A and B are shown apart, each in its own frame.
Chain A
Amino acid sequence: MKILYAVLFIICYWWLSNFYLLESRSNTIADQRVKSALDIATHDASLQLDVLQLDQGKIKFVPANVQSAFLSSLEKNLYLDGSLNPLNPSKNILPSAPSVLYLSGVDSGSFPQVINTNISGVPLITINNPSVVAVLEYTLPYKTISGKRNVKIVSIHQYKGY
């Protein structure tokens, strides 16, 4: 009987640790995918330039277009609806809606420039050129330890040489 208990304990321990490992990997994939999607979104937002200013060799972002292109790109790559909620929460890599904490097209002032987002956990951001800067926050669950992890990531897309 002792052996049976020992075997059961080992199986349960293995199952739990393996499940935790799988969940960690799934969250690693989520981190990678959200970072890629955010980088693509800042890239798309950075293409929203004022053409007349561009003719004169100046980089000027159109703020309304920056925001709409950024959100549209996030929706496409992370499978979110118009209010950033996951289209299929049970199958989506993000089970809950991410929130855009900061989004700005910085095209004025002197460079290099230090940006203070005033968001706790996000360090000062230094940019050397006109850039689109975004900070996104999302939450990933850890069911095996009944916990969750809040992540804030930064993405910057700079126009070098301006």
Chain B
Amino acid sequence: MKQLYALLFIIPIILYMMFQPSYDNTAFQRGVMLEQELTRSVKLVATEGMLTTESSYGSSSIEAQIKSDLSALKFDPSKLIINSSTKTSRIPRGGYVDLEIRYPIESRYVFKNFWGTDEQKYYIYRATEMSEYIP
């Protein structure tokens, strides 16, 4: 019986030690992908002077492009939150445009909500760049 208790005590530790590094690595890699997408997209926002949300002249909006790129990398577009202070009007050259991407961090731990205290956390990435848009 003692051995069974010892085994029950040790098994979760072993499982944690075996699989937690993979979870950490996945969370890290997904963060890197989101940040790379942000860096690429903020340049588009700077060129356009705003975060475009509607397609124009046959090209898709920047928001749609971000969602499409990230869904190809197995992110769920419905959970993606894309913010910018320049969604309504174009900022002319010399002003600053910004972009923020938020996405919930999924599967951070092997034992999800083990202590019942886990809170939903988000990847939050922001970038600000000078606009290149000439009216």
Residues of B within 8 A of A32 (CB): 32, 35-36
Q: Assess whether A14 is in contact with B17, with CB atoms less than 8 Å apart.
A: yes
Q: Assess whether A43 is in contact with B130, with CB atoms less than 8 Å apart.
A: yes
Interface size class of B (residues with CB under 8 A): 20 to 34
Nearest residue (CB) in B for A46 is B130
Chain B nearest Cβ from A69, distance in angstroms: 7
Does A18 sit at the interface, judged by CB under 8 A?
Answer: yes
Chain B nearest Cβ from A161, distance in angstroms: 16
**Complex formed: what's the CA distance from A76 to B42 in Å?**
14
A interface, by DSSP: helix, strand, loop or mixed?
helix
Mask: chain A, 13-40; 1 = CB below 8 Å from B; 0 = not: 0100010011001001100110010011
Among residues 129 to 156 in chain A, which have CB atoms less than 8 Å away from a CB atom of chain B?
Answer: none
Chain A nearest Cβ from B108, distance in angstroms: 12
Residues of B within 8 A of A25 (CB): 24-25, 28
Partner of B24 from A22, A28, A69, A76 at Cβ < 8 Å = A22
Q: Assess whether A40 is in contact with B13, with CB atoms less than 8 Å apart.
A: no
State the total of A-B contacts with C-beta under 8 angstroms.
49
A44 with B130, Cβ < 8 A, contacts A14-B17, A18-B21, A22-B24 known: yes
**Complex formed: what's the CA distance from A77 to B25 in Å?**
25
A77 with B132, Cβ < 8 A, contacts A14-B17, A33-B35, A47-B94 known: no
Partner of B128 from A11, A33, A76 at Cβ < 8 Å = A76
Does A67 sit at the interface, judged by CB under 8 A?
Answer: no
A76 with B96, Cβ < 8 A, contacts A40-B127, A43-B129, A69-B130 known: yes
Nearest residue (CB) in B for A26 is B28
Does B93 sit at the interface, judged by CB under 8 A?
Answer: yes
Mask: chain B, 24-58; 1 = CB below 8 Å from A; 0 = not: 11001001100110010011001000000000000
Residues of B within 8 A of A7 (CB): 10
A44 with B35, Cβ < 8 A, contacts A11-B13, A18-B20 known: no
Partner of B129 from A14, A33, A44 at Cβ < 8 Å = A44
Q: Assess whether B42 is in contact with A40, with CB atoms less than 8 Å apart.
A: yes
A21 with B42, Cβ < 8 A, contacts A29-B32, A43-B130, A76-B96 known: no
Partner of A40 from B17, B25, B129 at Cβ < 8 Å = B129
Nearest residue (CB) in B for A21 is B21
**Complex formed: what's the CA distance from A10 to B16 in Å?**
13
Interface residues of A (CB under 8 A from B): 7, 10-11, 14, 18, 21-22, 25, 28-29, 32-33, 36, 39-40, 43-44, 47, 69, 73, 76-77
Interface residues of B (CB under 8 A from A): 10, 13, 17, 20-21, 24-25, 28, 31-32, 35-36, 39, 42-43, 46, 93-94, 96, 127-130, 132
